[in-house]
Structure 1
């Protein structure tokens, strides 16, 4: 049943008078002998109404009337609604200090709990009524009890609501290291919701307790040990630890970094929070990962400087670039790269799936294949920083079927030119520019994926050949011409001398011509190859002049 809605036809006249603070009517009804304990559909009587309304005069008159009744004042003041709420609880929930004092004088139970485990103290904490909290603590209220289904204490609730003054009162009488059913402490709650004042009080209290415990231990060791034949027992004193972990191993520093509470992060670090404490049992998560995942740049910069760099490329670790790139926080990716984190990270497929062999693959795979997929800023930054283009990365780049994506990659990476003697470099290029050339492994990975995606040659073939890919590499797989469309075949043939094609390749072209799957360009005469050669050489020269690569590609054309 719903005991929160009041049905007017069930409320007594005395209760209405108390609710309306009509002292004259209330006294008149009492003199007429009206029942002071008459209940409505919620189980409320006139005292409950007076307490909720905060009218001390009405409450006092009702208590006097009850003292002369058969049930007595004590039983009356302890009467509960159908929700288990006492008059003291209702007054505390609304912050009525005078009524609370009156009810306590009438021997109200300060620890009476409601059906949902709340209490007068918990209600006062929730409402932020500092004077009431002080009063209840002086009257002996239970300060360490749990008052919710999730086992929150008054200290948890005070931290959650951000009532710093109340937290300061409670830390003097409560256990600091109390847990809810997820092993979350009040200090963790303060960090999670950005309650910096409360966090400061809790962290300071915990530090003070630890210092006192150390002093006590030293005192006992040096003072009592000479008189004891056995080891001196020093009782353990538990304070609010800034590194206390929840059931899922999350720490206050992790949750503060995740939620973007910079002040709380700084405070926790100042009090000894460990940025290298693993915060997950499923993967080696650190606070720096949380900051990167949610795009909190200032916090990320602070934590990146303190985090053990073994997470950068270490085996069994996870680079924070994964967290930033997967969520396309380009500013965070740029920050980590500038801080010296490797764009390649490490293979994390065992943690996050087969696509996560590198941060670049991870961000390329996110949403790839979706019509709304876009080439992310994170991917651009990683490529520009020199991320290794593995076969998996090439697969995602080619699968995008977007020539702009491929052209961006080729602006930052170049194909190898003619072999040079060891230690000899072109005078056109700096060592940094030469390092941007595709490695043999990267080129091999590209060719493997190209042969798997011949059907989409119209997207990638012009860009690759225009960037200087050696055409003979494509001829290593004869079937490439069989799977390529007519437009792609003709474009490819512009870069080779048709007369030098091997017999198997000529046979393929003849078959395609017969099946009308390929139509050769109009024959421009016997000089066609020399004309195309001149055009290609001219384009190549211009590209060498404009490109930072400037490689000598003249010998790479099969003319």
Structure 2
């Protein structure tokens, strides 16, 4: 049976008259001997109908009739407090709908002001939920319990008043209610105000003495929740009234409100928190830079703001706390995992690279696995430093920086570990000016795909390879795992040896990545030949 729907054929004539406010008909029915205690399919009696409808005149008639037929005061009181199938008393129904006079009449008839429903609500909680200030004032004055838990989340009436942002009711309740009452997550009403941006209620609570630095069971603070949800006015108010922006808000790692603002892209809040957050979170050991959360939350604007405010692009090593080496490594890994969100991660990576983020093996691993990531790196970094007095330096300006010795070493080490991706990373690196001889390694010739071996050999003088290299190639040729180009069986021609020499003298980065060769007074086809474009373009 559905206890929320009234079946008309189950409603008594007395209850129907009470619901409609027909006092004359109600009197006549009672005089005719009709009972006021007949319940319908929902368990509703005439007293419930009159209370819910707020028909006070009918309610008086019903209570008078009930008193005469009850036989005793206890029987009358049992009728006044009788509950529907959902546990709702007449007082509850009147309070829920804001019928002040009906509530007053029922209380005079000794209705239980604290009677609970099946779902743990009560007249006061119902009046609070629906914003009936006058009813709340009456119930409080009659001693209604304020600090009892209601609902499965253990909210008090004050929690609910704040959630609904009934500030006038909050003002009534804070006079006697427990400001630090906690729900099942140990959150006080102040948390509710901060989380849902209930500014007026927040101010009332703080003015009444609520603690601004109280913490929930997971150590979250009201300031953290306001920062996370983007309520700038609440953040400003809390900070102006003593909220601590440097109080750790997580049991797992030292999370601060600035992390929440960065993760969710609340830039105005982030700017405010930057000024009050200790900078030890930037690179301090055992801390976490907010850049990590800005990347994780796909918020390139947060990344840009933090970098502009002086937060270091490398941050600290957070492998123990978050399992991540650096913000850039995180951006690269996320870009690999979520192709539909790659744009925001790519933008964050671009900003970190432009700010000088260091490239170590954790950054090179994903970069060498995907062409777009490697292209992004090469758009911001020279492989080798350009001489200050070179003509190329004047051409390209200083918008890019060169890889450091350790970065180049890490790249080569990682490349040798990722030979299965060599077809993706070798042509772009060579096109960017990497010296192919730096990859002339036994493992490359032994394990790399045959096409990769052929590509690499075209940038070398294959006739002068050291004996160990030639032995490996001979073995692979015999095993049919490598098919060499025909020219590898003869000595390189003079033109190839000349361009190898030019590349060595000028530097591969200058030859490939600048227009210096294009200035030479020779035919374009020769310029292209000197830049190895015949090899590179055929392989890309």
TM-score past 0.5 threshold: yes
Q: Which runs of 5+ in 2 are unaligned?
A: 518-530, 533-540
Is 1:181 matched up with 2:146?
Answer: no
The CA deviation at 1:352 is: 1.9
Aligned mates of 1:146, 1:179 — CA distance in 2 = 9
Match of 2:378 in 1: 410
Match of 2:496 in 1: 529
Is 1:289 matched up with 2:254?
Answer: no
Which stretch of structure 1 is more off in the superposition, 107-116 or 242-251?
A: 107-116
Match of 2:16 in 1: 16
Aligned mates of 2:27, 2:494 — CA distance in 1 = 120
Q: 3-state SS of the aligned residue for 1:352?
A: coil
CA contact (8 A) 1:494 1:532 kept: no
Which stretch of structure 1 is more off in the superposition, 299-308 or 335-344?
A: 299-308
Match of 1:146 in 2: 149
Aligned mates of 1:91, 1:370 — CA distance in 2 = 54
Aligned mates of 1:113, 1:156 — CA distance in 2 = 17
The CA deviation at 1:36 is: 1.0
Is 1:359 matched up with 2:323?
Answer: no
Aligned mates of 1:380, 1:302 — CA distance in 2 = 25
Match of 1:458 in 2: 423
The CA deviation at 1:26 is: 1.5
The CA deviation at 1:370 is: 6.2
Q: 2:409 aligns with which of 426, 429, 444?
A: 444
The CA deviation at 1:177 is: 1.4
Taking a change above 3 Å as real, the CA distance of residues 148 and 372 of structure 1, as seen in their structure-2 partners, is closer
Taking a change above 3 Å as real, the CA distance of residues 417 and 261 of structure 1, as seen in their structure-2 partners, is closer
Which protein is richer in helix relative to its size? 2
Is 1:131 matched up with 2:165?
Answer: no
CA contact (8 A) 1:59 1:99 kept: yes
TM-score for the superposition, normalised by structure 2: 0.87
The CA deviation at 1:426 is: 6.6
Which stretch of structure 1 is more off in the superposition, 283-292 or 463-472?
A: 463-472
CA contact (8 A) 1:509 1:518 kept: no
Taking a change above 3 Å as real, the CA distance of residues 304 and 61 of structure 1, as seen in their structure-2 partners, is same
Match of 1:469 in 2: 434
Q: 1:349 aligns with which of 306, 316, 319?
A: 319
The CA deviation at 1:75 is: 3.8
The CA deviation at 1:383 is: 1.4
CA contact (8 A) 1:74 1:108 kept: yes
The C-alpha deviation readout for 1:362-385, integer Å capped at 9, x for no partner, is 121125256657362111211121
Taking a change above 3 Å as real, the CA distance of residues 84 and 110 of structure 1, as seen in their structure-2 partners, is same
Match of 1:225 in 2: none
Is 1:304 matched up with 2:269?
Answer: no
Which stretch of structure 1 is more off in the superposition, 33-42 or 333-342?
A: 33-42
Aligned mates of 2:215, 2:229 — CA distance in 1 = 17
The C-alpha deviation readout for 1:283-331, integer Å capped at 9, x for no partner, is 1111111111112111111112211100111110011111111222111
Taking a change above 3 Å as real, the CA distance of residues 494 and 334 of structure 1, as seen in their structure-2 partners, is same
Q: Kindly report which structure 2 residues correspond to 1:308-387, keeping only aligned pairs within 5 A, or say none.
A: 308-353=278-323, 356-366=324-334, 368=336, 374=342, 376-387=346-357
Which stretch of structure 1 is more off in the superposition, 197-206 or 448-457?
A: 448-457
RMSD in angstroms over aligned alpha carbons?
A: 2.8
The CA deviation at 1:81 is: 2.2
Which stretch of structure 1 is more off in the superposition, 252-261 or 97-106?
A: 97-106
CA contact (8 A) 1:248 1:280 kept: yes
The CA deviation at 1:417 is: 4.5
Q: Which runs of 5+ in 1 are unaligned?
A: 207-239, 548-555
Match of 1:190 in 2: 193
The CA deviation at 1:163 is: 0.7
Q: 3-state SS of the aligned residue for 1:69?
A: helix
Aligned mates of 1:405, 1:324 — CA distance in 2 = 19
CA contact (8 A) 1:328 1:377 kept: no
CA contact (8 A) 2:369 2:425 kept: no
The count of corresponding residues between Structure 1 and Structure 2 is: 506
CA contact (8 A) 2:314 2:328 kept: yes
Match of 1:212 in 2: none
Match of 1:66 in 2: 66
Aligned mates of 1:340, 1:204 — CA distance in 2 = 36
CA contact (8 A) 1:485 1:518 kept: no
Q: 3-state SS of the aligned residue for 1:91?
A: helix
Match of 1:113 in 2: 116
Q: 1:92 aligns with which of 73, 95, 102?
A: 95
Match of 1:172 in 2: 175
Aligned mates of 2:61, 2:338 — CA distance in 1 = 73
The C-alpha deviation readout for 1:48-97, integer Å capped at 9, x for no partner, is 01111111121111112222223455443222223332211110011112
Q: Kindly report which structure 2 residues correspond to 1:269-284, keeping only aligned pairs within 5 A, or say none.
A: 269-284=239-254
Match of 1:490 in 2: 454
CA contact (8 A) 1:465 1:471 kept: yes
